[in-house]
Amino acid sequence: MAAIALLDLAIAQFGAPMREFLGEVRRRNVFRVAIVYIIAGWLTMQVVDVMFPALNIPDWVTSLVAALLIIGLPFALIFAWAFELTPEGIKREKDVDRSQSITAQTGQSLNRTIIVILSVAAGFLLVDKFFLSPDGDEPVADIKPSIAVLPFVNMSGDIENEYFSDGLSEEMLNSLANIPQLHVAGRTSSFQFKGENQDLREIGAMLDVANVLEGSVRQSGTRLRITAQLVNADTGYHLWSETFDRELTDVFAIQDEIATAVVAALRLELLGETVASPARGTANVEAYNLFLRGLYLSDQTTEAAFLSAIEALQRAVEIDPQFARAYALLAEVYRFYVSGFVSYGGADFANGFRQVHEYADAALAIDPELPDALIAKGGVVWATDFDIDRASEYFLRALEQDPNDPGTLSWMNYLRMVQGRHDESIELALRVLSVDPLSIGALRALGDAYRAAGRADEARATYAKALELQPDTARINGRLARMALANGDFEAAARYTAREPVQWVREMLAIMVNSKGENSDAFQAAVQAYGEAYGTNNSYQLAELYGFVGDLDNAFKWLETGIEIRDPGIPWMPTSEFLVSAHDDPRWPEALESAGF
């Protein structure tokens, strides 16, 4: 072999004693044994590296195999020097007659063994490169340290302090989300575990994160004790823990201190020397506490909670008129309330959405690039001004500040959906779900994207996942009922309709179920009663009711009314199953144009 020939050449360069020793080493095939052992050991480690993870064998076993191979090398060389393989078996080298020695034949066998092992190693390298490894043309994913921030537990025994502990968790999440090198699970998904005593390893697996931050808040008078713990989601072991005893008036410093400590614990070398704290937007503790209360209440999607949130946020901006984040959240909550997302508020759309504009404009006047303010403004521009292009500009500006913000991505998903750009819509919805995997809103948005694209089976499966997480959630059963009605499955539609918690949605769908698609006198009477109960604020729903039975004259009449009063349901016209019969009517293009399409 070439390696042995080179070895002979090297031996020839030494003096007589060394040449004699190295010649004996060569005769006893010690060099060949070393080559075989090293190549075989390397090949063994390659197989272990590929197979052990697939078999869920712990990493320490891989390290053990490597250590044993290293330790075994000198023993193999000593064995090759001291013993010789003979036709009668293995004997001590000094007991073998040199004239009877077969080391030359053994050497040839070892040469063949080296060739075979090298061939196997080369084959393994080819398989690993072209079959086991990712395509070389595909970009390698940028793997970031990841974390989920669970809701801090309120240990005070006072339910009124619940908003503070939730708000503190929110601020912690925002602090970490502002670090580009860190992947942070979305708030909605993390807050799914509020009040749940679940294994942190299971939570880490469900949220696809490596670390979990949990903690508790205990308040006694003006004193706060906040405990934060960073846990490895793979092992469940604590990586870092700290307790902070502070006065309530020092809440901003507390949050900054915890955020800095967590970042240090994660050892994010890519962050540089300093990490900027996120802007709170106010130095007034009372205003900030009211903001936290509004944030807490806005999650509870009931009319009473919305009204209380609006009251808290209005008080916050009264105390600090430069509090941009409070104005932005106030705009969002007020828009949800006025639009009747979870209840029929009977609000005047024109005046209500004018107020939403004012709140969003106030936030932008203070901070023109605040993502929350851009989202709030874009939402009302699309929902009530019917200006898709201008709304897109606001959302794209928000995405420049935070490319993975779930709220902005959701709005962009819906914009692309109504524009008929379904592939883009689905891609955006999937991005939202990757950031916020347990979010009901993210699952609802993805189901809507599939439904609008005509991918009914995937839409149903996605809605079903949302119901598994929260069986009584609003506006999911209603969507399944819509799909069943569009397919003429009135029995299934009746089941889903009965489970829909939002009353005005449930009543509308029940009229369709009872009609069986027939434009009967009973149907007309039911629709008239529905209109009297909810008035022009449900113009879009009245248009859908009439469209469902093919009464296009009344459908277009109510679409015109909806456009006139700025009904926030109008932008969804292109996606409605119940207005498909109107698409071939010459009035349809005009209605779309009036709605901003």
Predicted confidence pLDDT, tens digits, the chain (597 residues): 555 555 555 555 555 565 566 666 666 666 677 777 787 777 788 777 777 766 667 777 788 888 888 888 887 777 766 666 665 556 565 655 555 555 566 656 666 776 777 777 677 666 665 555 444 444 334 446 788 999 888 887 776 667 677 777 877 787 777 777 778 888 878 888 887 888 888 898 889 888 898 988 888 777 888 888 888 888 888 877 888 787 776 666 676 666 666 666 655 433 443 444 445 578 787 888 888 888 878 877 677 888 899 999 999 999 999 999 999 999 999 988 888 776 665 567 888 889 999 999 999 999 999 999 999 999 999 988 899 999 999 999 999 988 888 889 999 999 999 999 999 999 999 999 988 888 888 899 999 999 999 999 999 999 999 999 888 887 899 999 999 999 999 999 999 999 998 889 999 999 999 999 999 999 999 999 999 998 888 999 999 999 999 999 999 999 999 999 889 899 999 999 999 999 999 999 999 999 888
Residues 154, 87: one domain? no
Into how many domains does the chain fold? 2
217 neighbors 229 (Cβ within 8 angstroms): no
CATH number at residue 218: 3.40.50.10070
76: which 2 tokens?
Answer: 């193999």
For 117-166, give the secondary structure using H, E and C. HHHHHHHHHHHHHHHHCCCCCCCCCCCCCEEEECCCEECCCCHHHHHHHH
Buried b (16+ CB within 10 A) or exposed e, 432-466: bbbbbbbbbbbbbbbbbbbbbbebeebbbebbebb
- Same domain, yes or no, for 128 and 150? no
Separation CA 363–CA 361 (nearest Å): 5
- Domain match, 46 and 101 both: yes
Rg (the chain; Cα; Å): 35
Same-domain pairing of 92 and 204: no
The contacts of residue 46 (CB under 8 Å, 6+ apart) are: 121, 124, 128
Residue 122 lies in a domain: yes
pLDDT digits (tens, 9 = 90+) for 58-68: 777 788 888 88
Residues 35 and 108 in one domain: yes
**Predicted pLDDT of residue 18:** 59
Could you tell me if residue 112 is inside a domain?
A: yes
Give the per-residue SS3 of 79-120: HHHHEEEECCEEEEHHHCCHHHCCHHHHHHHHHHHHHHHHHH
Does 447 fall in a domain?
no
Determine, yes or no, domain membership for 428: no
**Cα 542 from chain centroid?**
37
Residues contacting 394, CB < 8 A, separation 6+? 374, 375, 377, 378, 381
Asked if the structure places residue 157 within a domain, the reply is yes
Q: Which of 104, 132, 160 is the last residue of a domain?
A: 132
The pLDDT, as a whole number, for residue 273 is 38
Q: Are residues 183 and 211 in the same domain?
A: yes
H helix or E strand, kind and range, residue 215: strand 211-220
Smallest CA-to-CA distance from 148 within 94, 99, 184 is with 184
Q: Please, which residues have CB within 8 angstroms of residue 10's CB and are 6 or more apart in sequence? A: none
* Residue 416 domain flag: no
Say if 64 falls within a structural domain.
yes
Same domain, 151 and 70: no
What confidence score (pLDDT) does residue 395 get? 94
Residue 163 is part of which domain span? Answer: 146-278
pLDDT at 397: 94
Q: What is the pLDDT of residue 138?
A: 41
Residue 522 lies inside a defined structural domain of this protein: no
Task: Give residues with Cβ within 8 angstroms of 188, minimum separation 6.
Answer: 406, 436, 438, 439, 440, 441, 442
DSSP string, 318-357: HH-TT-HHHHHHHHHHHHHHHHTSSS-----HHHHHHHHH
In a shared domain, residues 201 and 240: yes
Angle of helix 371-383 versus helix 388-401 axis, rounded to 10: 160
The SS3 of residue 241 is strand
Q: Please report where in the chains the tokens 């019969």 appear, as a residue.
A: 581
Among candidate residues 247, 278, 309, the one where a domain is terminated: 278
Question: What are the start-end ranges of the H helices in 159-199?
Answer: 162-177, 187-190
Measured over the CA atoms of residue 262, residue 264, residue 270 and residue 274, the dihedral's sign is positive
How confident is the model over 310-361, as pLDDT tens digits?
999 999 999 999 999 999 999 999 988 888 776 665 567 888 889 999 999 9
Same domain assignment for residues 110 and 156: no
Which of 106, 132, 158 is a domain's end point?
A: 132
Q: Are residues 19 and 76 in the same domain?
A: yes
pLDDT of residue 472: 81
Pair 112, 10 in one domain = yes
Residues 22, 127 share a domain: yes
pLDDT for residue 142: 43
Residue 538's pLDDT is what?
A: 92
